[in-house]
Amino acid sequence: MAKGKFFLDNHGCAKNQVDGEEIAARLEASGWAWAEGAEDADVLIVNSCGFVDTAKKESIDAVLGWKEAYPGKKVILAGCLAQRYAEELSADLPEADGIVGNTDLAEVLTAAEAVLEGGRPVLSERPESAPAPSGFRRSRLLDFPGTAHLKITEGCSNNCTYCAIPLIRGSLRSRSVEDILEEASWLVGRGIKELVLIGQDLGAYGRDLGGASLLPELFRALMTLPGDFRVRTLYIHPDNFPEAILPLMAAHPRLLPYFDLPFQHASAPVLKAMNRRGSKEIYLELIGRIRKALPDSVIRTTFLVGFPGETEEDFKTLLAFQEEASLDWLGAFTYSREEGTPAFGMKGRVAKKTAEARKRLVEEAQVAITSARLARLVGSELEVLVEEEVALADGEDGLEGEELSLGRAWLQAPEVDGLVVLRGAHKPGTLVRAKVIGVNGVDLDCLPLGRT
């Protein structure tokens, strides 16, 4: 007999998603039953994000909302926010029946059983005591069919002055190549077509084990696995870029030439204040080397505007870099002042209104850049991983009720980039060869040529 039913409400980034998948797997392995909806659950678990103010508010609002909707059910606050503010939330958020951090995900089992027995556990070990990610077999994947995120590191030792990740998840801890390879093989055996490697900075993978990046070694190991799958790599700090991966990507088509390089800025004074080593010139040279080695490569980045001390001249440098770099995908964010980080007490704070205006300017400038980068693909053929089927109402978008499918090509990462709109109904999780016939905003319009 099941110990009870649980419902998982996941928030935050892909790394948090993997944590949520592990929480679910551990609960199910210990006798708990998965509930498809909150109304059927005994315990509601909010797997929270605590990175910036908006994410914190969203997670707290989730706890309040679930407790209001289901006052008779137990609500546990788990994840990054619980890790960062366990004691404070224990006092200030009585709606949470239990609070458990993310240093040891097995503690969710203890918390779930305790709340059903009337207890109010507050469990949060310091992240310094945590091992590398466990590779616990995840019984449920929260991605669209065919995709799985694979966490290869935990924590970060870059110590960017604005970032709270070291406070929440501790310093860099890498899994062994052998451990990752075993999990990757297991996922491919389950039918996964795209493995998305994640961590805070994959360029630093393995540096805590032997002093040098082991990402090239991991790539070589993954390419020994049989199967029809591809590998996407996210989050490589540009200051730690391991250039030895470029010839490997050129030699192995399954290693997607997709680069997520969070430059954050291009002004040397701002980057120095962020504890980053780059500049406009250094980063343009890196982009040039990548594109020389892999002419068809796609680069995504993030910009952080409104950092303390950012002047109009600094921002102009960033805009000039954006134009010259001509990156395929870009996300812009305003600086969030986080307690415990070195930047928290920095002088020269930028007005929120100014930061928001700068963010809008970056986003507006990127529209034309992304459209131009996508336009070069019209007439080419792509392999599309189908994610879901949709049926338009008659006359919607001028397609008169035509059946469509949504998916991603190799140049699009899950959730953050545009999609492929594929004519016809296709089974989610399958790969379909398609021809690009147009660009619609940040999405590609494609005609299927056949399944691969």
How sure is the predictor about 2, in pLDDT bands with cuts at 50, 70 and 90?
A: low
Q: Looking at the predicted structure, is the pLDDT value of residue 202 above 70?
A: yes
Please give the pLDDT value at position 51: 72
Lowest-confidence range among 56-70, 149-163, 264-278, 386-400?
Answer: 386-400
Shortest CA distance to 313 belongs to which of 323, 321, 301? 321
Q: What is the pLDDT of residues 211-226, one digit of tens each?
A: 889 999 999 999 999 9
pLDDT at 12: 81
Structure token pair of residue 177: 């190549």
**Other beta carbons less than 10 A from residue 444's beta carbon:** 27
Rg (CA), the chain: 22
Domain limits, CATH 3.40.50.12160, in the chain: 5-126
Query: Within 10 A of 47 (CB to CB), how many other CB atoms are there?
Result: 28
**Alpha-carbon separation of residue 92 from 51, 118, 375 (angstroms):** 19, 19, 52
The pTM assigned to this predicted structure is 0.91
Going by their DSSP bridges, the two strands 43-48 and 33-34 should be labelled as: unpaired
Residue 301: which of 357, 236, 213, 231 has the closest Cα?
A: 236
How far apart are the C-alpha atoms of 175 and 209, rounded to whole Å?
Answer: 9
In this model, does residue 117 exceed pLDDT 90? no
How large is the average pLDDT for residues 409-436? 93
What is the pLDDT at residue 400?
57
**Higher local confidence (pLDDT), 131 or 176:** 176
CA dihedral 403, 406, 410, 413 (to 10 degrees): 170
Look up the CATH number of domain 381-451.
2.40.50.140
* Bridge partners of residue 255, in order along the sequence: 231
- Provide the pLDDT for residue 211: 82
Residue 241 has pLDDT above 80, yes or no: yes
User: What is the 3-state secondary structure of the chain?
Assistant: CCCCEEEEEECCCHHHHHHHHHHHHHHHHCCCEECCCHHHCCEEEEEECCCCHHHHHHHHHHHHHHHHHCCCCEEEEEEHHHHHCHHHHHHHCCCCCEEECCCCCCHHHHHHHHHHCCCCCEECCCHHHCCCCCCCCCCCCCCCCCEEEEECEECCCCCCCCCCHHHHHCCCEECCHHHHHHHHHHHHHCCCCEEEEECCCHHHCCHHHHCCCCHHHHHHHHCCCCCCCEEEECCCCHHHCCCCHHHHHHHCCCECCEEECCCECCCHHHHHHCCCCCCHHHHHHHHHHHHHHCCCCEEEEEEEECCCCCCHHHHHHHHHHHHHHCCCEEEEEECCCCCCCHHHHCCCCCCHHHHHHHHHHHHHHHHHHHHHHHHCCCCCEEEEEEEEEEECCCCHHHCCCCEEEEEECCCCCCCCCCCEEEECCCCCCCEEEEEEEEEECCEEEEEEEEEC
Q: What is the mean pLDDT of residues 177-202?
A: 94
- Residue ranges, CATH 3.80.30.20, the chain: 147-375
Asked if CATH classification 3.80.30.20 holds for the domain at 147-375, the reply, yes or no, is yes
Q: What is the mean pLDDT of residues 285-311?
A: 97
Average pLDDT, the chain: 90
What average pLDDT does the segment 396-411 reach? 77
Q: Which of 64-68, 264-268, 289-293 has the lowest mean pLDDT?
A: 64-68
In CATH, what number does 5-126 get?
A: 3.40.50.12160
Parallel, antiparallel or unpaired: strands 443-451 and 431-440: antiparallel
Q: In the structure, what pLDDT confidence band is assigned to residue 252 with cuts at 50, 70 and 90?
A: very high
Q: Where residue 129 falls among pLDDT bands split at 50, 70, 90?
A: low
> Please, which pLDDT band fits residue 127 given cuts at 50, 70 and 90?
low
Residue 300 clears pLDDT 70, i.e. is over it: yes
Cα gap 183→14, rounded to integer Å: 17
| pLDDT greater than 90 at residue 161 | yes
- Residue reference for tokens 């540096």: 207
Residue 167 CB-half CA count within 13 A: 18
- Residue 130 in this model has a pLDDT that exceeds 80: no
Q: What would the mean pLDDT of 276-293 be, rounded to a whole number?
A: 96
Beta pairing class for 147-151 and 194-198:
parallel
Q: Is the pLDDT of residue 106 over 90?
A: no
Range in 118-132, 135-149, 213-227, 381-395 with the lowest mean pLDDT: 118-132
- Report pLDDT for 25: 92
Q: Where does CATH 2.40.50.140 sit in the chain?
A: 381-451
Dihedral angle over CA of 24, 28, 33, 34, nearest 10: 30
Q: How far apart are CA 448 and CA 53, in angstroms?
A: 43
pLDDT of residue 401: 59
Higher pLDDT, 196 or 83: 196
Q: Report how far residue 314's alpha carbon sits from residue 73's, in angstroms, rounded to the nearest whole number.
A: 51
pLDDT grade, residue 399 (50/70/90)? low
